[in-house]
């Protein structure tokens, strides 16, 4: 197996990610918050395929950004037990003054005022490492609701991380939805991992936390909310 990597500044990284998603290219992204860059990594079966992908990416990036020179790094990827080694890349991270995000397999000692969110990476957007997700979490930490009040809407909930943060920050009514059934399933699993009960059916309208499949473009949601987060790709 071989990999191709190029790096981009945060200022253009989200736009590039959206274009890659629209082109149907699977990519892993390595965020460096100190340098404020994102590394886009593609895995291919052979060196020949990696070289072809690098050339394709160069043409795409020039078309999207107008910048001709995009250095590409090609390197072999050793055979490993990916069922375990991928966990090396996911560790507990403090994303805001009070919020800490961690995977289930890692134990962390925290202060009493720390709000811990347990998220396991799945086939869904939102592990607390993406720049926009971190930005939303920081914003929520600063916009604390009045105790026992506040209605919160999570549009395109993905892994459910922002809804979990909202509950832990004190919102009394949290509504989450996504047009992807897999995302909703993963969000519900993460709610359970954080000991949060999710209501279904008619009870969901008045429940503290609800999560369902919904396409906002086809069926607009009625209601008033104090805080709305929509952590989605820019074109959407």
* Between 221 and 84, residue with greater pLDDT: 221
160, pLDDT greater than 90: yes
In the DSSP assignment, the letter for residue 49 is: H
Find, among 153, 126, 149, 139, the residue nearest to 98 by Cα.
139
Q: Taking 70 as the threshold, does the pLDDT of residue 190 lie above it?
A: yes
Mean pLDDT, to the nearest integer, of 108-112?
A: 86
**Does residue 218 surpass a pLDDT of 80?**
no
pLDDT band at 222; cut points 50, 70, 90: confident
* 80-94, 123-137, 138-152, 166-180: segment of lowest average pLDDT: 80-94
- 117-127 pLDDT, tens per residue? 998 765 555 67
Q: Which among 73, 48, 68, 50 has a CA at the least distance from the CA of 58?
A: 68
Contact 179, 214 (CB under 8 A): yes
Confidence (pTM): 0.67
């Amino acid at each position: 197996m071989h990999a191709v990597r190029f790096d981009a500044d945060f200022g253009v990284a989200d736009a590039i990610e959206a274009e890659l998603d629209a082109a149907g290219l699977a990519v892993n992204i390595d965020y460096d918050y100190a340098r404020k860059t994102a590394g886009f990594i593609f895995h291919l079966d052979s060196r020949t395929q990696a070289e072809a992908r690098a050339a394709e990416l160069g043409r795409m990036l020039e078309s999207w950004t107008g910048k001709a020179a995009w250095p590409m790094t090609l390197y072999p990827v050793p055979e490993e037990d990916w069922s375990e080694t991928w966990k090396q890349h996911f560790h507990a991270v403090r994303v805001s003054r009070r919020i800490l995000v961690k995977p289930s397999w890692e134990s962390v000692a925290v202060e009493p005022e720390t709000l811990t969110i347990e998220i396991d990476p799945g086939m869904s957007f939102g592990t607390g490492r993406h720049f926009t997700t971190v930005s939303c979490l920081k914003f929520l930490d600063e916009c604390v609701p009045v105790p026992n009040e506040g209605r919160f809407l999570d549009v395109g909930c993905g892994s459910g991380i922002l809804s979990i943060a909202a509950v832990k920050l004190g919102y009394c009514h949290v509504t989450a939805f996504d047009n992807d059934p897999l995302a909703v399933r993963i969000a519900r699993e993460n709610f359970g991992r954080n000991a949060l009960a999710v209501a279904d059916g008619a009870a969901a309208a008045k429940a503290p936390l609800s999560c369902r499949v919904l396409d906002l473009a086809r069926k607009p949601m009625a209601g008033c909310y104090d805080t709305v987060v929509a952590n989605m790709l820019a074109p959407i």
